[in-house]
Structure 1
Amino acid sequence: MISYQPTADLYASADITFKNMRSYYEHHSVNWEQSTIHEQIVDLENWDIFFNGSVVGAIRLAFDSDGCYIRDLQVSETFQNKGIGAAALAECERLAIKAGVNQLRLRVLKISPAYHLYIRNNFEVDKEEDRFFYMSRQIS
């Protein structure tokens, strides 16, 4: 069973991101550490993703007048490809609707397999840069 709770331990949550993203950071020669990630997420709306009672991922959101920006969606590697990412996107939509906004936005590395998750969930590429796709979708 998948559930969500406000993040209890931001350092542990940052560690999930660090472990998931390490190969991408190395690929792009980005020198990020867990402490750097923690600094970046402390002011976001942070949610733990639970699967059968254990924390397996994180959702990080920022809201503005244009909508909900999914700053980070991480699922620990051993729990990927089990529908948890798609369920987490549905939770992002629920939280966005609750906040009164009608658009989800995100940025994803071009080399990330998460890009395919977003395409399957009706996100469209709005623009691209060297390393990133910027994607969005309307919600109702």
Structure 2
Amino acid sequence: MVFELRPATSRDLDFARELTRNNMLRYYIQHDLLWQDEGFDVGWAGRENWLIVSGSTVLGFFSLSRDAKALYIRELHVLEAFRGRGAGSWAIDQVFAMACKERRPALRLTVFENNPAQALYARKGLKVVGTDECFLRMQRDIDASPG
């Protein structure tokens, strides 16, 4: 399967919200957290959003934010039908390349402590650097040396 990135637009909000809710609601329930569509929508509006596509098929998306310390993956979701085919791994590689190109010190994300996606993140070089309640904070440092 060949993957590509396409910038997401406001027309993709409903898809992204539904995919995120479907993927994450069980974790929200398990950790007694409240899912709010409005909260997702506000986050979406303030982030850089990309669709993961193969041909004309949208497989998933990711959302990014930045500060002086890192490039942050705020959301990364793949439709269940396309999991295990390398789209998530490929997407992380793309984001890491963005972080390198932008000369960010690190790539960071937060994941529920019981989300099996953390194994993928670890395989992609992200290490647990802290915990917050039911979340793991993961980071991959960017080598600042020229290369």
Same fold? TM cut 0.5:
yes
**Is 1:114 matched with 2:112?**
no
Residue 51 and residue 35 in structure 1: after superposition, are their counterparts in 2 closer, same or farther (change >3 A)? farther
| Identity, % of aligned positions | 31
Aligned residues: 140
Counterpart position of 2:5: 4
Shift of 1:95: 1.8
Q: Give 1:61's aligned amino acid.
A: L
Distance 2:133 2:35 in 1: 19
Structure 1 unaligned spans of 5+: none
4+ runs deviating over 2 angstroms: 33-36, 97-100
Change (3 A) 1:129 1:35: closer
- Asked if structure 2 preserves the Cα contact closer than 8 Å seen for 1:46 and 1:61, the reply is yes
**Structure 1 residue 98: deviation in Å?**
2.9
Which runs of no fewer than 5 residues in structure 2 stay unpaired? Answer: none
Partner amino acid for 2:8?
Answer: T
Q: Aligned-pair distance for 1:71? A: 0.8
CA contact 1:44–1:62 (8 Å) conserved in 2: yes
User: Which of 70, 73, 76 is residue 70 of structure 1 equivalent to?
Assistant: 73
Work out which of the two has the higher radius of gyration on C-alpha atoms and give 1 or 2: 2
| 1:80 aligned onto 2:72 | no
Match of 1:59 in 2: 62
Question: Is the contact between residue 75 and residue 85 of structure 1 (CA under 8 Å) also seen in structure 2?
Answer: yes
CA offset at residue 6 of structure 1? 0.8
Contact 1:61–1:69 under 8 Å retained in 2: yes
Tell me how far apart the structure 1 counterparts of residues 43 and 81 of structure 2 sit (CA, whole Å): 25
